[in-house]
Amino acid sequence: MVKDVKFKISNSTKSAVDKSSAVPAREHNKGVGNVRAVERALDILKAFNAKNYSMSASELMHKVNLSRPTLYRLLKTLENNDFISSSSEPLKFRLGPAVAQMAHAWSSAIDLKEIAQPILEDLWNFTGETVVLFQLQGLNRVCIAELASQHALSYKMGVGYKELISVGASGRAILAFTDLIQEFETAPIPTVKNKKLNLKKELELIRQKGYALSQEEVIDGAVAIAAPFFKNTGEIVGAIAVFGPSVRMKKAEIVKHVKHLLEASNKLSISLGASV
């Protein structure tokens, strides 16, 4: 028969155990505090965007909901590490060179087609029409990815297809957000359904709506809708387009497709670091 064995812990041993068990708790709490400080610092960095690229401490306080002492302490740490810079009077803060270095490293590793692929697939599944990804190259747009419609009657551009950005919905969806219109002032005026297009007026309308529409302009019987997407600097990168025959792309269908097209282009812009 085995008797119960009782261990007696001396006061010195008990004290040592208590101290050793207390250390992880203190370290844990310290870790939580450090993580919270990191989160607050990241909140400060994320408060800046293309519209709010320079802000005072008061403006930042409203955006990140921090006390003034905490905000200044974090700003000082960020500035010491070149993530924030300050200048002028009254004092204004903006993102520093370390952020630019990180953005350059991130953008250098971007594979546009890989990032866009799931977004294009979702749009293709919804519309059932040909979905194309165009990238701006000089004065042209170039097809770099395409998901062809499975309908018997459909249109394909083909990867590598190139056209001036003054022509077609996908071209003008890009042109509207560049300063390149002067390059086309002496170019032939696009004709839409045998009517000369007022390019400046058309581009202004595209900027207001956020997308472009063309009917039987590039391909007979085809209707295209396109929306631009941007990178983290706010600069235009290209456009996502949906092509289909006019017999299917009626007004009601276009309205439904436009909603999902705009969602897709916004999602791609956000994936590229743009603020939309």
pLDDT in tens, 233-257: 889 999 999 999 999 999 999 999 9
Per-residue pLDDT, 274:
86
Residue 194 has pLDDT above 60, yes or no: no
Q: What is the mean pLDDT of the chain?
A: 83
Q: Mean pLDDT over residues 185-193, rounded?
A: 63
Answer for the pair 114, 268: CB distance below 8 angstroms, yes or no: no
Structural domains in the chain plus CATH codes: 13-102 (1.10.10.10), 110-271 (3.30.450.40)
Of 265, 259, 252, the residue nearest 126 (C-alpha): 259
Model pTM score: 0.63
Amino acid 109 reads A
Per-residue pLDDT, 110:
62
DSSP at 272: T
138-157 pLDDT, tens digit each:
999 999 999 999 998 888 88
Q: How would DSSP label each residue in 93-146?
A: EEE-HHHHHHHHHHHHT--HHHHHHHHHHHHHHHH-SEEEEEEEETTEEEEEEE
When comparing pLDDT for 173 and 18, which is higher? 173
Per-residue pLDDT, 229:
97
Amino acid 217 reads E
Q: Cα(260)–Cα(211) distance, rounded to whole angstroms?
A: 11
When comparing pLDDT for 20 and 149, which is higher? 149
When comparing pLDDT for 22 and 165, which is higher? 165
Report for 2-11, 30-39, 94-103: range of highest mean pLDDT = 94-103
Q: How would DSSP label each residue in 217-247?
A: SSSTTEEEEEEEEE-TTS-EEEEEEEEEETT
Per-residue pLDDT, 65:
86
The C-alpha R_g of the chain, in whole angstroms, comes to 28
**Token pair listed for 130:** 């040909």
Per-residue pLDDT, 107:
60
**Contacts of residue 256, Cβ cutoff 8 Å, sequence gap at least 6:** none
Answer for the pair 199, 184: CB distance below 8 angstroms, yes or no: yes
When comparing pLDDT for 130 and 52, which is higher? 130
Q: Which of 3-12, 67-76, 102-111, 134-143 has the lowest mean pLDDT?
A: 3-12
Residue 169 has pLDDT above 50, yes or no: yes
Q: Which of 66-75, 163-172, 178-187 has the lowest mean pLDDT?
A: 178-187
Whether the upstream peptide bond of residue 118 has omega within 30° of 0, thus cis, is no
How crowded is the C-beta side of 110, counted as CA atoms within 13 Å? 20
Q: Cα(268)–Cα(123) distance, rounded to whole angstroms?
A: 12
User: Which bin fits 68, alpha (ψ -120 to 50), beta or left (φ > 0)?
Assistant: alpha
Residue 30 has pLDDT above 80, yes or no: no
Per-residue pLDDT, 28:
44
Report for 7-16, 30-39, 137-146: range of highest mean pLDDT = 137-146
Label residue 79 exposed, middle or buried (CB < 10 Å: 0-12, 13-18, 19+). Answer: middle
